[in-house]
Amino acid sequence: MSTALPQLTAEDIATHLDDLPSLPAVVMELLNSIDQEDVDISVLAKKVSYDQALTAKTLRLANSSQYGLQVKATTIQQAITYLGFQTTRSLITSAAITGAFPEGRCPGFDDKAFWRHSVATAACAKVLARHVRFNQDYAFTAGLLHNIGRLVLVSSFPEHYAQALAYRAQQDCSMLAAEQTILGVDHVQAGVALAEHWNFSDTIRSAIANYSQPEAEGAGFLAALIHVANAVVCALDLAQVADEMVPRVSPVAWAALGLEEEAYLQLFRETELRYGEITAALLS
């Protein structure tokens, strides 16, 4: 095995955040305003429309069969009219983030599989949220971003991360454990650092911070929901990752959702269906 690299600290992560790709300013605004009601929608729609690639990707997603639009949306303003502002905001965010990070930086890290897992978790979280009458757009966005810290580590410290991946394969442990052993930090810490740097709303920030330990004090319901969605997606093997471990599900999170077995069987079917539609729109 290659020579062990010195371990990283939270300060190391923080100093590299400025080197990461930046999202379009309008997307930062959307992520920052997710908890706010009084947003000038028409101004935001206009700003998004200046970015043609982002607009095209967002509209492809809005017009995918999962949203069941009777009339095709051809502008961002129309998407907002047909789907509502919150849903359109989560679509714009998804379209921007799935294209923001460079690929192929870290040997052994499968960028495509990473996004398949993130999109599948977003799809599953959205379906779960509907079952438990929670905000589906918050759930979708948090599901998409729950392990964004992995991209922070892969982009900023590719050699370290390659060693963590090799260690995980060798020890057959969780990625979180491998990161903590080899890097000295993990993707949850890196995700929280990015969430603060990019000014994500408190709702999303808290879900990223707590999805791996939803029983922690003050973790919140969204963290429990993402925790379960993440485990379901691993169990369904939607990301098609060899030797992927299914994480242990927290009894606290499972109980918090309070779903019957029948609901879970329906959830599995619906997640697979939604995942296929979203992947076609976002990752093609």
Q: Are residues 276 and 179 in the same domain?
A: yes
Contact between 241 and 175 under an 8 Å Cβ cutoff? The reply is no
Q: Which residue has the higher pLDDT, 46 or 185?
A: 185
Q: Are residues 53 and 120 in the same domain?
A: no
Report pLDDT digits (tens) over 178-191: 999 999 999 999 99
For the chain, how many structural domains are there in total?
A: 2
Report pLDDT digits (tens) over 98-115: 888 989 989 999 999 999
pLDDT at 244: 73
Q: Are residues 154 and 183 in the same domain?
A: yes
Q: Are residues 172 and 243 in the same domain?
A: yes
pTM for this prediction:
0.92
CA angle 21, 24, 29 (to 5 degrees): 120
- Residue 256 resides in a domain: yes
Show which of 66, 100, 134 is a domain's final residue: 100
Q: Are residues 84 and 116 in the same domain?
A: no
Report pLDDT digits (tens) over 78-96: 999 999 988 898 899 899 9
In terms of residue numbers, what domain contains 260?
103-284
At 160, is the pLDDT very low, low, confident or very high (cuts 50, 70, 90)?
very high
**Which two three-digit tokens encode residue 229?**
């969605």
Whichever domain contains 164, its CATH number is 1.10.3210.10
High-pLDDT (> 90) share of the chain, %: 68
Q: Are residues 213 and 238 in the same domain?
A: yes
Return phi, psi of residue 275, to 5°. Answer: -60, -45
Q: In terms of Cα–Cα distance, which of 176, 99, 92 is closest to 140?
A: 92
**Residue 34 burial class via C-beta count within 10 angstroms: exposed 0-12, middle 13-18, buried 19 and up:** buried
